Amino acid sequence: MESNNTRIAVLYATAQGSCRDIAEFIAAHLIARGARVELAEVEHAPELELFDAVVFGSAVHDRALLPEADAYLRTHRDALTSRPVWLFSVGIGPSLRGPIGRRLARIVPPDVAEIREMISPRAYRAFAGYCSRADLPVPSRVVYRLIGGARYGDLRDWDQIRDWTDNLADELGLPSTDSEKAPQS
């Protein structure tokens, strides 16, 4: 695959914006690595036949992908299994701490596991999102704290997201950026 001609669709389903922000970050990083990228919400997704690879992300609520993400993945299963796909999800799971939280964070939700089995992505990664205290009802805040939710706010680990994106860019044979070529001091 010619790196400067690699066309990648970065598609996402978001509820509160965290997944969109991560998808935008991934798209910008892939563009910096030399790919031609189209970023779109699943409702406005382009024809997959135009792309060499797909990066797909969805928010996870109640341990399930958003309904529009699930429907898109099932509807486009054949097109997705015929090209390299990277899958990511965004939720609170990866941000959980403590013995219970770390154990829960390692569990892939059954809905996500089923989708992974169905489309066989090259890689799957769960990222932490943004967790607003004001958006959670009191009982949910209590549960969040009990299962290891240590804080609220922006819980995204941008270095982790960049590393994951670099791995997929390397797998696609995209050239390194100048900052990646620079020796570390």
- Using only the alpha carbons of the chain, give its radius of gyration: 17
Give the three-class secondary structure for 45: coil
Specify the CATH number for the domain of residue 144.
3.40.50.360
The total number of structural domains that make up the chain: 1
Residue 162 lies in a domain: yes
What per-residue confidence (pLDDT) applies to 14?
95
Structure-block tokens of residue 7: 């066309």
* pTM for the whole structure: 0.84
The answer on pLDDT for 164 being more than 70 is yes
Which whole number is the average pLDDT over 159-177?
94
Residue 122 lies in a domain: yes
Rounded to whole angstroms, the Cα distance separating 33 from 27 reads 10
Which whole number is the average pLDDT over 102-122?
84
Above pLDDT 70, what percent of the chain? 72
User: Which structural domain range is residue 159 located in?
Assistant: 3-176
**Which of residues 104 and 54 earns the better pLDDT score?**
54
Helix-, strand-, coil-residue percentages of the chain, each rounded to 5 = 50, 20, 30
**Residue type at position 35:** A
Of 126, 107, 124, nearest to 116 by C-alpha is 124
What per-residue confidence (pLDDT) applies to 156?
83
Residue 182 lies in a domain: no
Q: For residue 139, count other CB atoms closer than 10 A to its CB.
A: 8
Structure-block tokens of residue 150: 């240590």
Residue 184 lies in a domain: no
Residue 183 lies in a domain: no
The answer on pLDDT for 162 being more than 70 is yes
Residue 181 lies in a domain: no
Residue 185 lies in a domain: no
